[in-house]
A and B are shown apart, each in its own frame.
Chain A
Amino acid sequence: ETGVTQTPRHLVMGMTNKKSLKCEQHLGHNAMYWYKQSAKKPLELMFVYSLEERVENNSVPSRFSPECPNSSHLFLHLHTLQPEDSALYLCASSQDSGTAYEQYFGPGTRLTVT
């Protein structure tokens, strides 16, 4: 089983829709992350979870709502998004939330908001 999986891989949604992105890690890690990657821009950290508790929220708009039911699963619930939210959303996990640990990324969900 691949280390970090994400579904769906591609998503097109209207501004009034509600959808959810799913991430699952099979590595036994304690920390999980959501990142946003826009073209030609650095990865932007959105949320960090450590042992299922949110430890960081980088001023992300409330139209993005994370959920971490257990240490292996992470969701990103989306509602009333804007066209500028179109990007690649990457999930990652690491052994712990300390920054010295290698991050393992999933393949990402390419989101288009119309």
Chain B
Amino acid sequence: RKEVEQDPGPFNVPEGATVAFNCTYSNSASQSFFWYRQDCRKEPKLLMSVYSSGNEDGRFTAQLNRASQYISLLIRDSKLSDSATYLCVVSDYKLSFGAGTTVTVRA
């Protein structure tokens, strides 16, 4: 089983729509969780950390479900600029990256 699994997508959504996707992880001892964003042919950049109680950053909401070992990302009121690949990152003593979920927002 892969350490971190993501639905590769792509998720094609119209502007203004809400899109959500999950990431599952295999190590129940994982302590830290993050979402990174990677634009086409660019480097990954931290989008947000994921806290146990869930957290929001503007239009982005991240949730953690330890019992089922997944984290989620929800994007409200999608913008064209949200088109990117979203990388799930989970850590115990080392960082493990998912392969990414691609989101395409169309006009």
Contact = CB atoms under 8 A, between A and B. Distances in A.
B91 A99 contact: yes
A107 B42 CA distance: 6
Interface residues of B, number: 23
Given A40-B8, A42-B4, A108 B97 contact: no
A43 B97 contact: yes
A90 interface: yes
A40 B87 CA distance: 11
Interface in B53-103: 87, 91-100
A56 interface: yes
Contacts of A90: 43-44
Nearest to B102: A40
Interface string A6-43: 00000000000000000000000000000000001111
B94 A105 contact: no
B99 A42 contact: yes
A53 interface: no
A43 to B, nearest CB: 4
B72 to A, nearest CB: 18
Nearest to B6: A42
Interface residues of A, number: 15
Given A99-B95, A100-B32, A43 B43 contact: no
Nearest to A35: B97
B32 A107 contact: no
Interface string B22-46: 0000000001101000000011111
Contacts of A45: 94-95
A102 B46 contact: yes
Contact of B43 (A99, A102, A106): A106
Contacts of B8: 40
Contacts of A80: none
Given A41-B99, A102-B46, 10 more contacts: A40-B8, A42-B2, A42-B100, A43-B87, A99-B92, A99-B93, A99-B94, A100-B91, A103-B44, A103-B46
The 9 closest A-B pairs by CB, nearest first: A99-B91, A105-B43, A43-B97, A42-B97, A42-B99, A102-B46, A100-B32, A105-B44, A107-B43
